[in-house]
Amino acid sequence: MTVKTTPENVAEAHKGLFHATMNLPAAAAHCGMTQKQLKLTFWEYLKYHAPDYEILKDSFEISRGEEPCSE
């Protein structure tokens, strides 16, 4: 069974990827595109949609595997 690619399906897939409620294979299957096609359209989506979260000033930074400072 194939899914017809429509602007509505693609928009839902982009929103799902943007908000991390879908992974790439699920989003591609949802809108009837290949993963490569969806990646290309999602990069375009990211160009025109700013992040919708804010980093609070009192938040702490998580170590990214770096060695701790010995101060």
pLDDT tens for 38-57 read 999 999 999 998 888 777 77
Mean pLDDT of 23-49: 96
Residue 48 has what pLDDT?
93
Residue 40 has what pLDDT?
97
User: Average model confidence (pLDDT) for the chain?
Assistant: 88
CB-based contacts of 34: which residues, under 8 Å, 6+ apart? Answer: 28
Nearest to 38 by CA among 21, 68, 18: 18
Residue 70 has what pLDDT?
64
